[in-house]
Amino acid sequence: MASLRYLPVLIPPPEVPPDLDGTDHPVRAVTREVAADEAFWTPAAAAEMTERFDELAPDWSNRLRPEEFVGLPDACERGKLERSALCLEVGSGTGLGTVHLAAHFRRVIAMDLSAGMLALAPPTLAPRVRADGAGLPLADDSVDVVALINMLLFPSEVDRVLRPGGAVLWFNTLGVRTPIHLPAAQVAEALPGEWGGVASEALWATWCVLRREPLGA
Ligand SMILES: C[S@@+](CC[C@H](N)C(=O)[O-])C[C@H]1O[C@@H](n2cnc3c(N)ncnc32)[C@H](O)[C@@H]1O
């Protein structure tokens, strides 16, 4: 059973909620399926996702509001993510979240499946790498933080590349309305072994920062 501590909300939502409701978006089902069983992620699924985001890329940074990401510094601070950490952001898109990660962490790697999305991310923020989160081109135990912002969860890959003591930062910019959304408890459940940490909300976003629980805790 995950030990999750829900922290008070420091950045409350404005009265008018965003109009997007992604709860029945087709990508929502994929999100649940791959978190539960990575075998759902096939070459055909990867090709379809790549095509989808290559097409969305030119307009992506206009579709999302910059305010959706303002909770990221809060998540980094209250999640106690060290500034000296090497942060791997998977599904970094056009860099809307990378801006905040690069302001917090000393080193960030921005990784995405879609060359179209990556091409539009600012080149100065972080090295950009085209790769599939289902098969990360990184050694075991090689990063301190894996950041997933509106991105699918591939539990065993995240677990493999995170060094002991490392953390997962999970952030959904429109909370339950985000097409790619999982609640904090489901993220913790999906990761191999026992994970716990803190969760909260910021503006419309939901987020959590999780670490492996010590054995026998
Ligand atoms: C909803 S967008 C979010 C982009 C960015 N994080 C943001 O919030 O603006 C999801 C991103 O994840 C990428 N993506 C989807 N599946 C992926 C995978 N298996 N490996 C790496 N990136 C993936 C997509 O190409 C897209 O850029």
In a domain, 171, yes or no: yes
Q: Count H helices, E strands: the chain? A: 7, 8
* Domain that includes residue 37, residue range: 4-212
Kindly tell me if the per-residue pLDDT of 26 is higher than 90: no
If you average pLDDT over residues 14-37, what whole number do you get?
Answer: 84
- Cβ-contact 11, 204 below 8 angstroms: no
In a domain, 143, yes or no: yes
In a domain, 217, yes or no: no
Protein residue closest via CA to atom 12 of ligand 1: 91
In a domain, 140, yes or no: yes
CB of 149 sitting under 6 A from ligand 1: yes
CB of 30 sitting under 6 A from ligand 1: no
217's tokens: 């805790």
- Number of structural domains (the chain) is 1
High-pLDDT (> 90) share of the chain, %: 87
Element of type H or E holding 143: strand 143-149
Confidence grade of residue 217 (pLDDT, cut at 50, 70, 90): low
pLDDT (0 to 100) of residue 23: 80
pTM over 0.75: yes
CA of 53 to the centre of ligand 1 (A): 8
For residue 25, the domain's CATH number is 3.40.50.150
In a domain, 59, yes or no: yes
Q: pLDDT tens digits, residue range 57-74?
A: 999 999 898 999 999 999
**Ligand 1 atom, smallest distance to 50 CA:** 25
8's tokens: 């008070």
**Biggest distance spanned by C-alpha atoms of the chain:** 49
